[in-house]
């Protein structure tokens, strides 16, 4: 999309109408200012609708990448426009949960359209008692089980791993299991 000259876009503020009375009947002045109106009409239109440019659900599609950089959002030009808009709109919320179980599940749901369950804590251990013996070293592995939503496309494990590499903390090892459907209660 271009915000350059838009053929036929009328100016809301024609310059010719704002000239002194001396030039109101001057054909050259009116034609000259009409040319300027053609150039300035997209600028005025953009400024009149500026708030819409900052709302990811209303902004022009070519503006979404720039908006994503403002809020640290994920954006891939290959995604459908609706998904890109939603990713930018939810970027701040997802960033708040980045690296947590909830954040991983929400990001997988948003970006890949899959359901997920995350188990393991990535190696965190603590004690409520000051000065107590350190707990045993926990496993640094995080297990991420994913399955397609009902009626959804099959899960691409490589895309899941690629997304997890960008979202998981560096010190964790993420193992991915692709399931045909939600895990049974006894598997949890």
Q: Mind listing the pLDDT tens digit for each residue in 40-99?
A: 888 888 888 889 989 999 998 888 999 999 988 888 888 899 999 999 999 989 889 888
CATH of domain 100-183: 3.30.300
**147 phi and psi angles, rounded to 5 deg:** -150, 155
Q: pLDDT value at position 75?
A: 84
Cut 0.85: pTM above it: no
Give Cβ neighbours of residue 94 (< 8 Å, ≥ 6 apart).
Answer: 73, 74, 87, 103, 106, 107, 110
Q: How confident is the model at residue 100 (pLDDT cuts 50, 70, 90)?
A: confident
Q: pLDDT value at position 171?
A: 78
Q: pLDDT value at position 20?
A: 92
């Amino acid at each position: 999309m271009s915000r350059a000259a838009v053929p036929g876009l009328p100016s809301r503020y024609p310059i010719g109408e704002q000239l002194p009375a001396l030039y109101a009947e001057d054909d050259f002045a009116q034609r000259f200012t009409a040319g300027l109106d053609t150039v300035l009409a997209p600028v005025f239109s953009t400024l009149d609708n500026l708030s819409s440019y900052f709302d990811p659900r209303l902004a022009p599609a070519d503006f979404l990448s720039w908006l994503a950089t403002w809020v640290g959002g994920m954006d891939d030009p290959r995604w459908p426009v609706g998904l890109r808009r939603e990713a930018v709109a939810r970027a701040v919320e997802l960033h708040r949960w980045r690296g947590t179980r909830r954040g991983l599940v929400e990001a997988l749901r948003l970006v890949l359209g899959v359901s997920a369950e995350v188990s393991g804590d990535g190696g965190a251990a603590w004690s409520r008692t000051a000065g107590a013996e350190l707990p045993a070293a926990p496993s640094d592995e995080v297990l991420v089980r994913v399955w397609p939503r009902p009626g959804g496309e099959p899960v691409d494990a490589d895309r899941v791993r690629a997304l997890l590499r960008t979202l998981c903390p560096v010190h964790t090892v993420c193992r991915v299991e692709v399931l045909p459907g939600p895990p049974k209660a006894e598997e949890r």
